[in-house]
Every structure is written in C-alpha cells, then in structure tokens.
Amino acid sequence: MINKNLVLVSGANGHLGNNLVRLLIKKGFRVRASVRNIKNKDCFKGLDCEVVQADITDKASFVKALEGVDIFYAVGAAFKLWAKDPKKEIYDVNMQGTRNTIEAAAEAGVKKIVYVSSIAALDYTHLPTKESNGYNPNRRDMYYNSKNDGEKLAFQLAQELGVELISVMPSAMIGGEAFFPLNVSYGILKLILNKQIPIDTKITLNWVDVKDVAEGCYLAAQKGRSGERYILANEKCMTITDTTKLAQTLYPELKLKVPGAVPKFLLYVIAGLMEFSAKIKGVQPIITTKDIAMFSGLQQDFDISKSRNELGFNPIKPEQAVKEAMAYLMEHKELL
C-alpha cells in the first residue's frame, strides 16, 4: 500500500542519504531527494523518487524543497575529518546548514525532523558510552565540534520553532549501495584492501551497516520521542588492525600484511611526516597527528539499549558488516 506522506531526504546522493531513500521507497513513501548539485543524479537511476536541488548553505532552496513535506530526514552535512580550512569548510557549513534547514522546515510547516547527528557528539569518558553521558568535551576537531554544537542548536531551534525533532547518532557506516567518492568509513576499508595502512595506529572504529542506520532513521521517525537522541551503532568496536586480520582471512589472494605496532611517539613522527607531505601535495593525509591524539586507543563501545528498546533497532554484528562491505568493494572494483 502506498503511503501518501511525502518525505524529504537531504544529502540524498551521500552514502546514508541514498540508502535511506531506497529504504523509504520500499516502505511505500513518496520520496523527495535533495542534492547540492543537480547533476549528481547517477545514484538515483531506477528509483521512483523526485530529485530536487537544495544546498544547506542556502535557506531559500530548502524552504522550496520542503513544501508539502511531512517528515524531513536531515542527512546532508559536510562529512569530512580534514580540510584546508576546517572551520570554514566543515564547522561553519554544518552550523549554518543546521540553522538553515530547521528554520526552513518550520517555515514550510514540516511536522517532524529526524536530525542525523553522530557518535562524535557523545562523551566517551565513561564506557560503554550512552546518550545520557552528554556531549563530547574534546574540542580538537572541527567536524566533531560541528556535530556537538550542531545537535545542541538543532534541539534549541526545534523547541523555539515548535517542530518535533529526534536526533540519531550513527557510528562508522559501511555496506549497502555505495558510489564514488566513498565516504570516510568505507574509505578506510578501501585503504586496508589496497595495503595503504602501514602501521598499527591502535585506532578503533565502531562499524555499523548503513542499511541498519537507514532503518534506525525510519524507526526514529515512527517511534522516537521528540527532543531525544538515539545511538545507531554496535555495542563493540574493532581496531583497524583486527579489521585487517579479518580481511586477510577473507581474501588470502590479496596477501595482506597486518600492520606492525610502533611506540606512540613514533606514531606522531610518522603522522607528522604524512601531514607535511600531504600539505606540499595539497591532498588529505592518510593519518594526522590529531587522529593519533584523539583516536589512538580510544574505545568506541556503546550502550544501545535505548535504541533497541524504544525504536526496535537491531544491527547486524560489526564483523558481518565488514564482511558484506568488503564483498561489495571487491565486486565493484571501480570503487577501489
């Protein structure tokens, strides 16, 4: 049965956005998909949805895109951990985007917003991390800052403007349909398969299947309580080295080597050299000193009981998510 409700997914040509569009179409919704560049429509081939142009830095474009929309899935954001000018390219874009899209939604008469935040907006001081821990006190990364401050702003604006808003907080999303350029998380699996991680950084990731996150977004709209935040992740994280070991067993023909461990001071030296080289070339370094300082040894384990109990969120295990995502990349060699 066709659901007559019209929903809008912003950032719909991104990894989560596109997989969410596909899920909502299957659920019978009328789906409008917004993209910043209307030429980027290849990922919508064969999909029964309306594609419109809207930029989170342009409020008027969203007022128009949100006309007649019941539920707005606010997925669109600058998702990157590195930029030449991080404040301008990441923080300012995401903060202005949050304000623009929520104000536009209120003006357009949208009933409910599912705001896609991130586990970056959580306090990791006490494990397992839960929603009630509060916000991340670590202010060294502009993307993390934008997710912390952006979520706070989203709740504040929604309350002021009288719009229902539920926040969802995904971890490292992999799997599902993917398109070039790969998102940050999928990009790490690409580095592993291409033998481009030379050392054991002791960095962990909380892998989650993007299809489960898309389902979590849908469930948040159906069952989530306004003003609440829900973690969409797995309970346990995996190190990049353990992920490489799993890839080794899955694809022996690649002859992958497990990266060797080095003292932490050497990690900083190697990361510093990579940053220097990348700066000269004008490209993103594989590892930065900030990555080592913030993430080496950080355990990204979560208490997801709130999402399980209130939403019915039930993700596949991280090992399975990695297996399926790597299989997808191996089948789609053009992405490697």
Q: What is the pLDDT of residues 109-121, one digit of tens each?
A: 999 999 999 999 9
Q: What is the pLDDT of residues 186-245, one digit of tens each?
A: 999 999 999 999 899 999 999 999 999 999 999 999 999 999 999 999 999 999 999 999
Q: What's the farthest any 2 CA atoms get from each other in the chain? A: 60
**pLDDT surpasses 50 at 319:** yes
Produce one character per residue of 210-232: b if its CB has 16 or more CB atoms within 10 Å, e if not. Answer: bbbbbbbbbbbbeebeeeebbbb
pLDDT tens digits for range 238-269: 999 999 999 999 999 999 999 999 999 999 99
Residue in this structure with the two tokens 């592993």, named with its chain if needed: 192
Residue 168 forms beta bridges with which residues?
116, 230
The pLDDT score that the predictor gives to residue 3 is 55
Let me know the angle formed at the C-alpha of 141 by 138 and 142, rounded to the nearest 5 degrees.
120
80: helix, coil or strand?
coil
Closest CA to 15 of 173, 194, 172, 151: 173
pLDDT tier at 40, thresholds 50, 70, 90:
confident
How high does pLDDT run on average in the chain?
Answer: 95
Residue range 122-168, pLDDT digits in tens: 999 999 999 999 999 999 999 999 999 999 999 999 999 999 999 99
pLDDT band at residue 82, thresholds of 50, 70 and 90?
A: confident
pLDDT at 198: 85
pTM (2 d.p.): 0.96
Task: State residue 52 phi and psi, 5-degree precision.
Answer: -130, 160
Alpha-carbon Rg for the chain, nearest whole angstrom, is: 19
Q: What percent of the chain has pLDDT over 90?
A: 90
User: Could you say which DSSP state residue 165 is in?
Assistant: E
- Integer Cα distance of 278 and 105 in angstroms: 40
* Domains assigned to the chain: 6-177+206-234+302-315 (3.40.50.720)
Residue type, 153: L
**Interatomic CA distance for residues 4 and 199, integer angstroms:** 52
Residue 1, pLDDT score: 40
From 105, 222, 99, 96, select the one nearest 163 (Cα to Cα): 105
* CA dihedral sign of residues 217, 26, 222, 156: positive
Q: What pLDDT shows up at residue 286?
A: 86
Instruction: Please state, for a pLDDT cut of 70, what percent of the chain lies above it.
Output: 99
Q: Which residue has the tokens 């497990």?
A: 258
Buried b (16+ CB within 10 A) or exposed e, 186-197: bebbbebbeeeb
- Quickly state the pLDDT bin for 2 (edges 50, 70, 90): very low
| Beta bridge pairs of residue 129 | 302
Which tokens is 303 given?
Answer: 């208490």
